[in-house]
Structures are given as structure tokens and as C-alpha cells.
Structure 1
Amino acid sequence: MYNDEEDNERYFSPDLLHVVRSFVSVATISNLELAPYGIRSVPTKTEDGIPIRKLYVTNLPPKTTRTELYGVFAQYGLIKSCWLKMGDKGPNKTPIPTYAFVTFSNPADAHQALEAPSHEKILRGRNLYTSPADSWHQPVEDADGRVCWKPRFSRTNVRSRSRSKDLDEAGTSTKMSTVATLDSSESSDEEDVKSCTILDVLNRDCLTHILNYIPIRDIILSERVSKGWQIMVQEYLAGVRVLKTSWWQAEAARLTTAVLRRVLARVGDSLLALHIDHHWSALNDRTAHSIARFCPKLEELKIVGMHTKNWNPLLYGCKKLKNLSFISCNKLTDSSLVHLAHVDSCIEKITVANNTHVTGLFLTGAAPPQLSSLSFYNCYSLQGTVLSAAMDSLPNLTTLKLDLCPAAMWKIVPMILKTLSKLEELSLSEYMSSEVCFTTQSSDEFCEALTGLTELRRLNLSRNIHITNAVLKQIGQTCHKLEYLNVSSCNSRKNFPQPGVSDEGLAALWAGCRRLRELDVSYLAGLGGAGLAGQGGAARLRRFTARGNPALSAAGPAALLAAAPCLQEMDLCGCDGVSEEIVEAAVNALALNPRHLLLRLAGTGAAQAQEELPKHRLLTVNVADDLCNPNMRPDFVDRIFGNDSDESFDDLYDHDDFEDLFGSDEEIFLEDELDEYEQIFAYGIDVPDILI
């Protein structure tokens, strides 16, 4: 379009003027419309090849009637039907037409109406905007040329009748195989194949699987596409059982109570689980009322990060609620739960995490007899004496979790466990408070409480400084049904007064717990490997984890591999003393008992000799993913805030020119500067803090 000369000057090319003149001479405003990049012709068929008979009409004036639409479009041909969409109706609202569909009997008449100039399609002073309706709304012709004027959802049967002969000749029972064997030379068959939509090709199971990846809010908004799509969406919404609001994180609009109410009005009747786990929302106190009104079958409710205090309305609507979880709900108190956890409710599981107000008083009244699981994590105000008094009213409790609770809770734990003879899962982790770290406490009371837990199957004692070899010996003598045990980081520092867990306790554990499937002994200072022989107690062990043990050698894990015929995963990340001998022991163990085995050896001595390690077709050695946390190792030394941090300023005061560096006292506290400090006191700021 431009000619570049040697002097880098540009001249307008005459070819451009020729092209423009050719387009303008052909274009006439009466029958064509100018598009941004040329002239747009009016199509006669949709993208799927369906003849256009139905037109979509917008920009309708108020109080438009069907008779007036007939009068505007009757000049172009025979009109089959005219449908007018009215707006919202109400006692104080006047229905206003929003859009209309005009269907012609002949596609040529519809094409003529589309090509007609805009000044011919005027109604009450407004230019009517016309465009072809999409393929979902267009009537479909069968193979014989007959037009199906019925709604979209019944067209599948019409097409199936037209293809019955092809199905019999091909000898197949599926629609997709029939489409693949159609003769491309027949134009009628080609149009029939092009008219197939996603509702005709995919069955309900495939559509449901696809819609699971789309937010429900977008699915609800897409109902207006067509009648057939609306019916399919209604069937999908009726089958939704679990709803999580975390998909609002990718949306521009915030999650409000009004939006949640409209969503629950569509899917709440069939919901069984609701997770309000949005990272930031604008939900208010009316949220509980909306859940109680629209979710009568709800069985599981999880609330994360809400500042709502009143949850009593759930009592009146959610009669079948069984699982209740409150995570990081700061305003949640005992009064918020006292009406939910009553004697007539169906609550079976209660979980409270990251809370500063709940004390446990809501359980002291008439607690629900079906309550079987009670979990508290990081609840600073939880009172052990209150829980101990409430355990008498919970005879069916099988799961108890008291993780990261106040330090005084450990003294009440033995009293609580003595009343729970049916306990199957117990978690007492994260007891590392500085209030009790340097106070030697006897574990006799806790060991005595363990004698009654004969039904225990899962036990988590990680990061608990009160766990010693005596506790493991008592577990081996009492908990013969134990399947999972976690004693990682139990007194992992050598400077603690308690002896912690060592090989002696593990050896006693194998003798009694012969059903053990998973064992975690990571970050233990006293674990050398002598207690990992396993003997007959490791016959059912499937997963063994021992990360960050500096004293552990390859002999102990090798003996465990020989004694555990069902072991499938062994994690030794961060164990410096483990050499490549562990791989040879694994190959020998697989020769006797073939199974798939995964060895995690990142950060060990065996990782350095990766190329020389023996190989086996059932063995996988991972030396790349180091799952060990160096801050939790027993030999970890804090370079910034170590044990000698109190003496870190000693070298500062050894200088002879200390006064020259900071100045003398007379230079710091001058009388003429006292007026400035008086102004600082007026703002409530402490002057010594500023000086420091």
C-alpha cells in the first residue's frame, strides 16, 4: 500500500484508492451493512448448517404486542410464530418486553427480512435490531425435508427416526458410529450431521463430568441459552451434592450473603455438604438463616474465616446435620454452639480450630448422644477441667483431638482419657510450650490412662515433649489394635530434661503392636537403628518414615526391610548416616517378597552414589525430592537466635570508645530537649522504647 523509495520517503499507493472505490460502488445501504473490515453479507444458514427461519429481535419499545410485530414482519413472508419475552413481573412493576423471536415458514422470507433496510423495521419510533437466532432455537429439517417445529429437547427422537435405516445397515448401536459411516456425498445426510449439538452427542454422564469444572454461578447464568439447555442444567443442579465456595476466588464479584442465597435457592434442596471456604467474603449474620432455609438435607457444614457469631438458626432448618467444622472463626463462642450440640440433634462430629473464645462449656449441658468425634486445634481458651466434666455425657466418643492446646491441658489429659474406653483415634500433638519445657513431669499418670484404651487404632503424639520410652512401652502392652503411630519430634532436642523416644521404646513397641501399618519416627535424637529390627511386629507395616535422624545408620532400616514383607514406602530423607547399603538390602528383600517399593533417599549418603546403586524392576529410588525439614532436626543450631543470644551484645560493650560511639549521657539527655519529649508523651508513646 506504500512504496518505499531510496530516500526513505513514503507515497500513497493508487492501489488502495482502487480497492476502496470498488467496494463503495458495490455497497448500497438498502441491502447490505458495512462491517469494520469490509462488507458483511447476511448468512442463510447457521454455523451448524441449519437453515435460518427464526430471527432474534431486540430494541423493542415499551408496551410492544405480538400483533404489532406481526404487522412489521408480515410484509416479508408467512410467519409461523411470534414469541415475546416479557420482563420481571410484580405488584409494583410493569412488565416490559425485552426481546422477541419471529419464526418464518420459509428460510428465504427470513433472509429477506434480515436484508431489509433498517427504515422498514421501525416500531413506535424505534429501529428494531434483527439477527439470526442461534442453532439451538432454529427448527430442524429431517432427511425427508420435513420441518420439526417442536421444542429443542424433542428433536433427538425425530433425527433418530430419520436415521433408523442407517443404524440397522451399519449394525451399530451408538449414534457417533453412525455419524462416522454416513456417506459424505449425500447432502441431506451432511446437513443432518451438522445439526447435531452437544446435547445430542454427549450423554448425561459426560455432560455432568464436564460441568463439574465450571462454577455453578456460571452454569445458572447460562440457562437462558435455550429450552433444551435449561432442562439439562436443571437436571444437573438437582444432582449436586457437594458445594464449595472456594471457586469464588477466581471471580471478580465478591461472595455476599445475597449471592449465596440465590445459589442455595437453586441447589440447596439436594445438597449434602456445604463448604464456605472462601478466602475473603462479605457474608453477614443472615448466612445461617439462608443455609437453614434452603438446605434441609445438609449433613456436613464447614465454615472458614467467617466473623459471624450466631449459628443457632441452623437448628431449625438443618435437621440432618452430622458434621460441623469451624476454622478460624474468631467470633465463635460457646453460646454459638450450645443450641446446636443439644440432646435432640444429630451432630456426630465437631471441629473447632484457631479460636480464642471457645472453652468447652457447650458440652457440659445435654450433649448429643450421637457425638463420636471431637477435635480442637489451636484453641487458647480451651479448659481441661470443663472437658473432663463433659466426657461423662459422651459415652459414644471414638475420636478425640486436642492439638496445640494450652500447656495446662496436659495435666488434665489423663483424667479425660480414663472415661473414654471406646476411643479409637487420639491426637495429642504440638505440646512444645516453653512453660513446661524445662519442668520435669512424670509420665506415670499418662501411662496409667493408656491402660484403658484397648480399642485404639490411630495415635498421633508428634512434637510432644512428654512422650518417653515408658509411654511407648505402655502402648505396646495395651494398644494391640494400633494401626497408625506418629512420634516424630518427640523431645528432639538433646538439652531437654526428658529422655524422649529412643531405640528402647521402639523395640518394646514391636512386641505388642503387631497390626501396625504406618509408623513415623522422624527427628529423634536418640534413634540409632537398634530398635528397628521389627521382628514379628512389622509383618503388616506398609509405610515407614524416619526423616532427619542424624544418628541413624543403614543397619536399622535394612533389618526392618527384611522383617516387613508388606512394606511399600520407606522415607529416610535427611539421614546423613544412611549409605548405599540400604538399596542392596531392598533388592534382597524384593527377591524374597516381590512388591512395589519406594525408597526416598534424598539428603543421605546413598544419594551421592546414585549411579552405582543396584537396580530392580520393582524398586524406585528417589534422591531428588528432599522432604526433610532442617529446622526440625535434633542437631539444628539457630545461627540468629541461638542459646547464647543473651551474650550477643557483650562484644559491643568491650569497646574503649563506647562513649565516643554513642555519645555521653549529657549529650543524650539535654535539658533544652525535654520539651520535645513532653510532646511525645501527649501521643501516648513511651520515650524509653524510642531510645532503645
Structure 2
Amino acid sequence: MFFDEEDERNFNPELFRAVHREFYAISSDLEVARYGLRSVPTHTEDGIPIRKLYVSNLPPKTTRTELFGVFAQYGFIKSCWLRMGEKGPNKTLAPTYAFVTFSNPADAHKALLAPNHEKALRGRTLRISPADSWHQPAEDANGRVHWKPRGHNESEAEGATENVEGQEGAVAEASMEEGEATTSQEGTNMEAMSEDSAAEHPGYSILEILNRDCLAHVLSYVPVRDLIRSERVSKDWQSMVHEYLQGIRVFKTSWWQHGTVTLTTAVLRRVLQRLGAALTRLHIDHHWSALNDRTAHTVGKFCPNLEELKVVGMYTRNWNPLTYGCKQLKNLSFISCNKLTDSSLVNLVKQESCIESLTVANNTHVTGLFLTGANPTKLHSLAFYNCFSLQGTVLCAAIETLPVLTTLKLDVGATSLWKIVPLILNKLPKLEELSLSEYSSVEDSSAIVPQGTESLCEAFSKLTELKTLNLSRNIYISNAVLKQVAQSCPKLETLNVSSCNSRKNFPHAGVGDEGLAAICKSCTLLRTLDMSYLAGATDAGAGAAAGCPTLASLTARGNSALTAAPFARCLENCHYLEELDLCGCDSVSEEVAAAAARALAITPRPLVLRLAATLAATTDFMISQDFPSHKLLSVNVSDDRCNPHLRPDFVDRIFEDSSDGSLDDVYEHDHFDDFLNSDDDLFLEDELEEYDDEVLYQIEWGVRAQHIVLL
């Protein structure tokens, strides 16, 4: 390059190098082919549209799936064929060249025009050129495409293939020495091997089109039984099904939707043989009659990594085999297992057991004796629901052997158990979650409540770490208990006192404004509050919730005494409030929705208002244009979640006092026989004799049958 003196003075070497790099980058994408710079025809010399491309310079171990992924971005691929040849001393199969056929000639043209960096595979740039007219699918006069290439017969194709295989090494050496002749040599190889490609040109399958994540999502809609039965289709499909089954972590037997094939223990065994090794959660909630006592052995043998097991409605008694196989089992739940006893659980809660959470619900045999002397070091959650055989004294003694217990749920228990609850709570000062719900028995309530309130308050005074408290539908909870909770539990985050003595005519007052005000004033970390169905709650108690700065969910269903004013204050002061449920509050007007829109304008956040069966739902204000709507505000006026039987003003129309005189109009008739028809109309004399004979015959036959059974 020559420069004048003036140019040499203005020459900048750094600028020259930068411009040189840019031009080099541009020139690398402009492939110089035998047709000229980016001169790629759309038809062959014979006028046939180019659909098939010849691909070479393939990296080792190239698969059809990888090749398909490179060219699928340009259009729909009709077929993708890969030629595998022998290479190396051990004659390992290696790809030599490939043919990619597009359905549309325009897509093939786009692939030829694409820059080289898009047609790279494993760091090697693929050489792409149109296949000759001998390979291209031909079109007839009607525009119909014949996808099979027009070649010689099979014998000629085999001979051409043998000649090409013998010359393949020489061609490769020549292409390495003479780089300019590579393209023409590839064209020669392509023409010579056309018949071989025609004889070995299979189509691609769905396994090569969809990736593993997409296939796993599709197979999630297929029952496990059908997947197992479909393994015999092919080896590729079998390996793919095995890979999918090994990725399943959760399995529920209720997903078994085959009416013709019953899920027995033998069938469950075959299923767990395939996917049990990877399962972490298993729910046996199928019909109990289909599974037998060997179910526990099956689960323990084929599910070594199981962490959660839930059993619903089974009559199996022995569950001790779980301890031999499931060494990582942490959560265990038995729901409606009537044959479950203390002996069924004694080995599951040993000292070396890894069980962290145990739940027993709807049982009439478990007494709590299995916990005595067990001393499990990892059991931190214990829950009993509707277990009327549970003995409070036995459980109180067993609590001493549970050093790390932080969650206790004793719901729907007997009155005798409620008397022991204060003694149990005195031994659990580290308790973080407590549930004492659905104690609604009024048996000897006049003798229990006064003394029980004092002992319960004393027990709550020691629960300084309590975060979650559920006291719903408990008639023994009063304002005094809530005041003690507010004083002793500053870390409380969740409180449920719904339907705590919701009847106005009950002899003992339940939760009211005093208890709610004390909770909302002292528990500054409260996030969830449920004050539904409280007969003693008014606007003063509901408005106290406005003093909870971290409140995120407030529920106050089924109380006709509440209006919209206290909840409007809550929306204004509680900047984290995201859900407000006022279903069944008859006096709540549309002012709540207007206050919500104003609050969101100041503090944006997603907010859900549930106003079904309220005064706001019956007005046209919600659908009028005057309603100040907000994108983050969702108002639901159709989904009524209020339970009418729990409302304070609920009246049982079947057993109400007015039903005593419902038959007065019958006895007021002077002729009672005329009202019910006479005896002659009911039984005629002739029919009466036959009726007596029939009764005597039935009695005599019943005695004979009983005698036969005894023999």
C-alpha cells in the first residue's frame, strides 16, 4: 500500500486496525461460492426447485437431533439423513456427510443465505451446498412433490456406493491439500452417493423434534400405566420413558384412573419398581379395599428416598416395615385409617427415627401410648384430629420425651382431653404453632369454663415463642384468654378466633371487642387475623385491626353487626393488606371498595376484596362508571364463602321451638277418624286374618333360620 506524504502524516494505526477488524468480520460472513459472492440459485440447472442440501465438515459424534436443531430455525424439515462411516483402527462409526431436505424451497434458500456462524456445530463450521438435480425432489405438472429422488435401481446404487467408499480417503486427502477444490470435490461425492442416500433415507421422529423438557410436560398428562405398557415400542422410546419415570418426585395413587384395572398391591409394586427410587412424596389415597397389608413392605423396599408419606382410608395395621427401607422419611400422615393402633406406630417414632412430623386424623384406636418412652430426637410436629380415644394423661406424660416439639395440634378432641390441655402446654415453653380448634361440646360446660380459663391463661403465659395460634370454633375461649395471649405472645403472626362462642344465647361469653383490641394493640407482628362469626364483635373490635401495621390478610365473615367504616380505616392504615374477606356481612356497603381504591392510589399493592352476600354486592355501584377502579384491585361479589350455619344469627328451622305446635291443626278436628280414614278402610276383616297368618309365618321362618345358623 502506497501513501503520500500528507497521508502518512494523517495515518492512524489504531484506527486502521479497528477498521480492518470490522471488514474482516464482514467478509467472514460473505461466503464465496462457485456461484459468486452470495449468488445462491433457487433452482438447479434442470429447473428443479432446491429443497435438499448437502452438509459436510461434520464434527465427530454428530447426531441427527443436533443437525436438526441447526437447520430447524430456517423452516420445516421434511427429512434429515446422516451418513455414518467407519473411522479409526477400531472402526468406530463417524459421520461423513448429511442431507437435509426442506418442505419449502424458500426455507432451503434461507439456510443457504444464512451466515456461517449460525451454521456451526461444536465449534466447527458446516459446509452447506445445494444437492444436485439428481437428489432434488421433483415436481410434476400439477405441483405434486415426489420426495423420493429419481435414481438408478438398487444394484446400481450399491455399486456406486462401493466405488465412492473406496475413493473416500483419496478425496479427503485431496481436499486437505487443495482447499480451492474442496467444493467441487464435495459435489462429486454427493453425486456418486445419491443412490445410497435414497436406499437409507429414514424420516425423523418426535423424539428428535421435542427436547426433554417439552417431552416431560407432554408425558405428565399420560397415566403411568400407559407409559409402562408403551415401553415395548422401541429402544429409544423405552430409554426416554425410563428417564421420565426416574424424574418423577411425587406420585398419588388417586391418579390411577383405569376402571378396568384395579390398583392392587401387586400392581402398585410394579409401578414403584419403575419410579419408586426417585420418589420423595407418596400419597396412598386410593380405595382402601384394593390394597392389603403388604403395601407397607412394598413402599419400604422400593422407595428408599421417600421423605413424605400420606395414607388415606386404609385398613392396614402394620406400618413398621417403613423403618427398614425409608431411612429419610420425615413427614408421615394417617387419615381415616381405622385399624391404626399404638402398636402400628411404636417403631416409627423410635429414638433413632428420622420422623419430623406425624399426623393422625379420624381414628378411634390411637391413645398416645406409642409416644411413651420413645424419645424421638427429631420429632418437632405432632397433630391429632378427631381422635376421641386419645388420652390426655398419657399424652401429658409422653410430652416430656419430646424435647424439640415446636408444633402441636389437638383438634376436635373430647372434653376429657381439654381438661389436660393446660398441663400439656405447661411442658412446652418452646412451642411455635398451636391449634386447639373445634371444641364445641357443651357437656358440663358450667363446671369447666370458670376453672379452665384460669389454668389456660396460666399456660399461655409461658408460650413466649408462639407464632401461629388456631382457636376456631372453641367455646372455651374468652376475652380473658386473648388478653393473656396478647400479653405473653409478642411474636404472634397468625391468629384464628372465628366462631369462638358465636351463639348469643350461650351462658358464657366468648370472644368480643376487648379481646380483639388487646390482640391488635400488643401483637405488632400480626399478619393474618380471622374474626369471623363472632357474636360479641362490633365495629369497635373490628376497627382495632387498623392498629396492626403488618396485617396482610383480614377475614370477618358472617357478622351482620359490622359495617364498612372499620374496614375502611384498616385499608387506610394497613399498607401491607392484600386480602379482605367480608362475605356475609350484610351491612357492609360499597364504601369499602371506594376506600380500597383510595388506599391503592397512595400505596400500590395487589388487593383482593371479597364482598359476596353484602350490601355492596346488591347495589349497582360496583358496575357503574362512578366506581374508582384500580388495576391492582380485584373485587369478588359472586363467590360467597360464608357458612350460614356458623353465623351468630343462624336459626335452625327444623328444631326451633315453634315446631312443637305444628300438629295442632290435626288434633283440632272433631272427628279424628274422619281425618285419617276409618279402620275399615285401612284393614278389612278378611285381609286382617291373612295379615295375621303372614306375620306368624314370618316369625316361624325366622326362628327356624336362627336355629339352622346355630347348628
Q: TM over 0.5: same fold?
A: yes
Residue 327 and residue 220 in structure 1: after superposition, are their counterparts in 2 closer, same or farther (change >3 A)? same
State the AA in 2 paired with 1:461. Answer: L
Residue 661 and residue 619 in structure 1: after superposition, are their counterparts in 2 closer, same or farther (change >3 A)? same
CA distance in 1: counterparts of 2:363 and 2:243, whole angstroms: 40
Question: TM-score of the superposition, structure 2-length normalised?
Answer: 0.68
Give yes or no for contact 1:534–1:563 (8 Å, CA) kept in 2. no
* Residue matched to 1:205: 213
* Residue matched to 2:401: 393
* Residue matched to 2:81: 142
Give yes or no for contact 1:326–1:353 (8 Å, CA) kept in 2. yes
Residues 67-216 of structure 1: pairs in structure 2 closer than 5 A: 142=81, 158=95, 169=116, 171=118, 195-216=203-224
Displacement of 1:465 after TM fit? 1.0
Displacement of 1:264 after TM fit? 1.2
Give yes or no for contact 1:308–1:332 (8 Å, CA) kept in 2. yes
Residues 490-501 of structure 1: pairs in structure 2 closer than 5 A: 490-501=500-511
Displacement of 1:433 after TM fit? 2.2
Aligned counterpart for 2:334 among listed residues 310, 326, 330: 326
Task: Summarize deviations over 1:280-322 as a string: whole Å, max 9, x none.
Answer: 5511111111112212222211111111111122222222221
Aligned counterpart for 1:347 among listed residues 339, 355, 358: 355
Aligned counterpart for 2:513 among listed residues 503, 518, 523: 503
Task: Summarize deviations over 1:68-101 as a string: whole Å, max 9, x none.
Answer: xxxxxxxxxxxxxxxxxxxxxxxxxxxxxxxxxx
CA distance in 2: counterparts of 1:426 and 1:303, whole angstroms: 23
Residue 676 and residue 228 in structure 1: after superposition, are their counterparts in 2 closer, same or farther (change >3 A)? closer
* Residue matched to 1:444: 454
Aligned counterpart for 2:372 among listed residues 364, 368, 393: 364
* Residue matched to 1:572: 582
* Residue matched to 2:309: 301
Structure number, greater radius of gyration? 2
Displacement of 1:555 after TM fit? 1.2
Q: Determine whether 1:637 maps to 2:648.
A: no
Residue 553 and residue 141 in structure 1: after superposition, are their counterparts in 2 closer, same or farther (change >3 A)? closer
Give yes or no for contact 2:80–2:99 (8 Å, CA) kept in 1. no
Q: Determine whether 1:600 maps to 2:539.
A: no
Displacement of 1:553 after TM fit? 0.8
* Residue matched to 2:179: none
3-state SS of paired residue (2:251): strand
Give yes or no for contact 1:472–1:506 (8 Å, CA) kept in 2. yes
State the AA in 2 paired with 1:416. Answer: I
* Residue matched to 1:421: 429
State the AA in 2 paired with 1:590. Answer: L
CA distance in 1: counterparts of 2:391 and 2:458, whole angstroms: 22
State the AA in 1 paired with 2:266. Answer: A
Displacement of 1:420 after TM fit? 1.0
Displacement of 1:220 after TM fit? 1.4
CA distance in 1: counterparts of 2:572 and 2:370, whole angstroms: 51
Q: Answer with 183-192 or 599-608: which moved more.
A: 183-192
State the AA in 2 paired with 1:503. Answer: D
* Residue matched to 1:585: 595
State the AA in 1 paired with 2:392. Answer: G
* Residue matched to 1:379: 387
Task: Summarize deviations over 1:461-481 as a string: whole Å, max 9, x none.
Answer: 111111111121111111111
Residues 28-43 of structure 1: pairs in structure 2 closer than 5 A: none
Displacement of 1:460 after TM fit? 1.1
Give yes or no for contact 2:358–2:381 (8 Å, CA) kept in 1. yes
3-state SS of paired residue (1:441): helix
Residue 379 and residue 651 in structure 1: after superposition, are their counterparts in 2 closer, same or farther (change >3 A)? farther
CA distance in 2: counterparts of 1:184 and 1:419, whole angstroms: 85
* Residue matched to 1:312: 320
CA distance in 2: counterparts of 1:631 and 1:618, whole angstroms: 33
Residue 578 and residue 163 in structure 1: after superposition, are their counterparts in 2 closer, same or farther (change >3 A)? same
Displacement of 1:211 after TM fit? 2.1
* Residue matched to 1:553: 563
Displacement of 1:663 after TM fit? 8.6
Give yes or no for contact 1:437–1:465 (8 Å, CA) kept in 2. no
* Residue matched to 2:494: 484
CA distance in 2: counterparts of 1:494 and 1:389, whole angstroms: 38
Give yes or no for contact 1:512–1:537 (8 Å, CA) kept in 2. no
Question: How many residues are paired up?
Answer: 535
Q: Determine whether 1:528 maps to 2:534.
A: no
* Residue matched to 2:297: 289
3-state SS of paired residue (1:249): coil
Displacement of 1:365 after TM fit? 2.7
State the AA in 1 paired with 2:345. Answer: L
Displacement of 1:185 after TM fit? 10
Aligned counterpart for 1:433 among listed residues 430, 441, 446: 441
Give yes or no for contact 2:264–2:291 (8 Å, CA) kept in 1. yes
Residue 267 and residue 655 in structure 1: after superposition, are their counterparts in 2 closer, same or farther (change >3 A)? same
CA distance in 2: counterparts of 1:168 and 1:281, whole angstroms: 66
Task: Summarize deviations over 1:485-509 as a string: whole Å, max 9, x none.
Answer: 1111111111111211112211111
* Residue matched to 2:65: none
CA distance in 2: counterparts of 1:497 and 1:299, whole angstroms: 48
Give yes or no for contact 1:373–1:400 (8 Å, CA) kept in 2. yes
Task: Summarize deviations over 1:483-538 as a string: whole Å, max 9, x none.
Answer: 11111111111111121111221111111111111111111112212123347742
Q: Answer with 469-478 or 437-446: which moved more.
A: 437-446
CA distance in 2: counterparts of 1:278 and 1:527, whole angstroms: 44
3-state SS of paired residue (1:598): strand
CA distance in 2: counterparts of 1:281 and 1:497, whole angstroms: 47
Residue 203 and residue 642 in structure 1: after superposition, are their counterparts in 2 closer, same or farther (change >3 A)? same
Task: Summarize deviations over 1:619-676 as a string: whole Å, max 9, x none.
Answer: 22222222212222111112222245555455544444345556999999x9988877
Residue 143 and residue 297 in structure 1: after superposition, are their counterparts in 2 closer, same or farther (change >3 A)? closer
Give yes or no for contact 2:85–2:96 (8 Å, CA) kept in 1. no
CA distance in 2: counterparts of 1:444 and 1:183, whole angstroms: 93
CA distance in 2: counterparts of 1:349 and 1:539, whole angstroms: 33
Displacement of 1:224 after TM fit? 1.0
Task: Summarize deviations over 1:140-192 as a string: whole Å, max 9, x none.
Answer: 98366x699xxxxx99x9599767997973716799xx9xx998998669789
Give yes or no for contact 2:532–2:557 (8 Å, CA) kept in 1. yes
State the AA in 2 paired with 1:298. Answer: L
* Residue matched to 1:108: none
Residue 541 and residue 184 in structure 1: after superposition, are their counterparts in 2 closer, same or farther (change >3 A)? farther
Question: TM-score of the superposition, structure 1-length normalised?
Answer: 0.70
Give yes or no for contact 2:546–2:569 (8 Å, CA) kept in 1. no
Give yes or no for contact 1:249–1:278 (8 Å, CA) kept in 2. no
Q: Determine whether 1:227 maps to 2:235.
A: yes
CA distance in 2: counterparts of 1:470 and 1:183, whole angstroms: 89
Q: Determine whether 1:657 maps to 2:671.
A: yes
State the AA in 1 paired with 2:81. Answer: D
Task: Summarize deviations over 1:565-597 as a string: whole Å, max 9, x none.
Answer: 111111111111111222222222223322222
Give yes or no for contact 1:578–1:606 (8 Å, CA) kept in 2. yes
- Between the aligned residues of both structures, percent identity stands at 57
Aligned counterpart for 1:619 among listed residues 603, 609, 633: 633
CA distance in 2: counterparts of 1:370 and 1:587, whole angstroms: 48
CA distance in 2: counterparts of 1:658 and 1:440, whole angstroms: 50
State the AA in 1 paired with 2:405. Answer: L
Residue 141 and residue 417 in structure 1: after superposition, are their counterparts in 2 closer, same or farther (change >3 A)? closer
3-state SS of paired residue (1:395): coil
Q: Determine whether 1:628 maps to 2:626.
A: no
